[in-house]
Amino acid sequence: MERKLLTYEEKDTWIDKLCGVTKLVFFLCWSVTSMMTYDTRILVLMLVLSLIIFKISRTRWDQVGSVFKFILLFLIINLLAIYLFSPAEGVKIYGTETVLAGSGRYALRAEQLFYEFNIMLKYFTVVPSIFIFIVTTNPSEFAASMNRVGISYKAGYSVAIALRYIPDIQADFRKIRNAQMARGIEMSKKGKLVDRIKSTTAIIFPLVFSSMGRIETISTAMELRSFGKHRKRTWYMARPLKRNDYLVIAISVLFMIVALTITYMDGSRFYNPFV
């Protein structure tokens, strides 16, 4: 049941060579645009663009495939749920009603289909940008570059520690779960809810409490090597922003502004093909 997590892989494309902070700015602009807009034209454009960037980054399908299938499943469930809860939401939004088939509450309406199509687009525009962000960003350099956008270096180091210890804690988790399974404790789907929560504790408690011990050790080690001595710190992995970085940041911000201006020009975030 264990799926492969997305991980960074060193490659030699110009996207890889961008600073982490550049990619973060791009990712944030991209997310904000995609969250705010419901303009179908812009969403389609973004989808096309992200597929192109995905291609350039040379991200391989096997790096992201299993995760992608999962998203697809989640998306389908969500689209069905929206239909179930509010089959005429599209009518409310676009102001017209075009029944394609059926009748009554769950009649199939063109507006609803178009609305849910837009939601699907919104998902698909964000997903490649996250894939690219994770797969092409060196975690070390990322932690270093967070400091640049005004995030305190201490918070930046929390991120670095999280990334550093995720594999270790995952290994602990697996070891503990195996040993408890051999004792006969498993997280089964049967039994009373309270019993199921209890058997979870057999795995969670040792994991959490041994991690609490780890917090002490790491703090001591950092203390002994003068973490927090000055208001600033330098970074071994920091990279200076280059021409390409400024270019990408400028384009990202510009794109966001233009896209949102177009979206809101007519006073609504929705593009309405029905009137």
Task: Restricting to residues 166-195, name those near other proteins by CB under 8 A.
Answer: 166-170, 172-173, 175-176, 178-187, 189, 193-194
* By CB under 8 A, residue 51 contacts other proteins: no
Q: Under rule CB under 8 A, which residues in 20-49 are in contact with other proteins?
A: 31, 35-36, 38
From the list 76, 100, 94, 77, the residue with the least C-alpha distance to 40 is: 94
Q: What distance in Å separates the CA atoms of residue 155 and residue 202, rounded to the nearest whole number?
A: 32
Cβ nearer to other proteins, comparing 215 with 250: 215
Q: Which of 11, 58, 148, 196 binds other proteins (CB under 8 A)?
A: 196
Cβ nearer to other proteins, comparing 81 with 247: 81
Query: Of the ranges 49-57, 101-109, 158-166, 253-261, which one interacts with other proteins (CB under 8 A)?
Result: 158-166
First to last CA, the chain: 49
Query: Of the ranges 53-61, 98-106, 218-226, 252-260, which one interacts with other proteins (CB under 8 A)?
Result: 218-226
The residue written with tokens 């049967």 in the block is 190
CB-based contact 87:106 (threshold 8 Å): yes
Q: Which residues contact 269 (CB under 8 A, 6 or more apart)?
A: 36, 37, 38, 39, 263
In the complex, minimum distance from the CB of residue 219 to other proteins, in angstroms, rounded to a whole number? 5
* By CB under 8 A, residue 243 contacts other proteins: no
Q: What distance in Å separates the CA atoms of residue 241 and residue 172, rounded to the nearest whole number?
A: 38
* By CB under 8 A, residue 215 contacts other proteins: yes
* By CB under 8 A, residue 120 contacts other proteins: no
* By CB under 8 A, residue 86 contacts other proteins: yes
Q: Kindly state the DSSP code that residue 38 receives in the 8-state scheme.
A: B
For Cα atoms 214, 220, 223, give the angle at the middle one, nearest 5 degrees: 140
* By CB under 8 A, residue 223 contacts other proteins: yes
Q: Which of 222, 250, 254, 257 binds other proteins (CB under 8 A)?
A: 222
In the complex, minimum distance from the CB of residue 67 to other proteins, in angstroms, rounded to a whole number? 4
CA distances from 108 to 93, 105, 117, 140, 226 (A): 15, 9, 14, 50, 65
In the complex, minimum distance from the CB of residue 17 to other proteins, in angstroms, rounded to a whole number? 16
38 forms beta bridges with: 270
